Amino acid sequence: MIRIFQSKDRVEAVEFKDLSSIHTIILLTGMGVSVNFSPEGVLRSLTLKDGAHELVAIPGQFVYKNDKGTIGICNYEHLAERYEEVMETEIAE
């Protein structure tokens, strides 16, 4: 589920919760991903890769893309402080 926040700028964000959110993150960012698990099988992190550009998200963080195409990682508080959430929508595949 993509959550949309806005101020003067528009930001689309997906919460990285678990494996089920990875497909939506790939659709949003267009980046390749790798996943890191602990020896016990617990999901630790998601790494987004685009050439030399690499971002790492841990469960509970949001992957966002702004209206300029910049992709980043942040916590919900960062989005809520800077943007008003205007709607929640599914991403078209």
Q: Residue 49: what pLDDT?
A: 96
- The residue range of the domain holding 67 is 2-89
Q: What is the pLDDT of residue 24?
A: 96
Looking at the 3D structure of the chain, how many domains does it have?
1
What's the pLDDT at 91?
A: 66
pLDDT in tens, 22-40: 999 999 999 999 999 999 9
Nearest Cα neighbor of 45 from 32, 30, 60 is 60
pLDDT top residue among 88 and 37:
37
Predicted TM-score (pTM) of the model is 0.84
